[in-house]
């Protein structure tokens, strides 16, 4: 006799990808279970907060300036981000952010998908970000 194993639909559809959505100002409107688990926050602690609640001080402002310029211009942005967990630890993610559009093609928000960054990419990016921080 086989046993039926329930599948968590959100996990099934999101896979092993951290997903969040924000409004036009970067305020979190959705966070999947994996995002909550990795960041150490509960969903109710994230929803309504600016996404920069996770900003690690090692992240250069110029990276986010370029990100905002890109997504507000209607384009996808991809890059490595070092995020700060609720407990003070950090994690690196390879991030892609896309504008969300309504039926008239107006941007109404943003959706981000993240996966674990590779060690090689982290090492290369850390060096670049350190140099950028020195000039800020």
- Over residues 16-62, the pLDDT tens digits come to 889 999 999 999 999 999 999 999 999 999 999 999 999 999 999 99
Q: 101: domain range? A: 16-134
Domain contains 10: no
Domain contains 4: no
Domain contains 1: no
Number of folded domains that form the chain: 1
Q: What is the pTM of this model?
A: 0.84
Domain contains 69: yes
Domain CATH for 38: 3.30.450.20
Share of the chain above pLDDT 90, in %: 81
Domain contains 27: yes
What strands lie across the sheet with 18-22, from one edge to the other?
28-31, 18-22, 107-116, 90-101, 77-84
Bin 26: left if φ > 0, else alpha if -120 < ψ < 50, else beta. Answer: left
Domain contains 6: no
Helix (H) / strand (E) element for 108: namely strand 107-116
Domain contains 26: yes
Residue 16 confidence (pLDDT): 82
Tokens 């670049």, residue located: 128
Max alpha carbon distance in the chain (Å)?
66
Domain contains 7: no
Contact between 42 and 28 under an 8 Å Cβ cutoff? The reply is no
């Amino acid at each position: 006799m086989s046993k039926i194993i329930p599948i968590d639909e959100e996990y099934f559809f999101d896979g092993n990808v951290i997903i969040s959505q924000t409004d036009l100002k970067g305020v979190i409107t959705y966070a999947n279970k994996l995002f909550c688990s990795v960041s150490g926050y509960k969903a109710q602690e994230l929803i309504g907060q600016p996404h920069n609640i996770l900003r690690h001080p090692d992240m250069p402002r110029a990276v986010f300036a370029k990100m905002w310029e890109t997504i507000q211009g209607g384009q996808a942005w991809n890059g490595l981000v070092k995020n700060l967990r609720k407990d003070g630890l950090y994690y690196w993610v390879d991030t892609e952010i896309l504008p969300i559009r309504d039926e008239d093609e107006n941007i109404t928000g943003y959706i981000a998908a993240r996966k674990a960054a590779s060690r090689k990419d982290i090492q290369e990016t850390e060096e670049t970000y350190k140099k950028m921080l020195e000039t800020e």
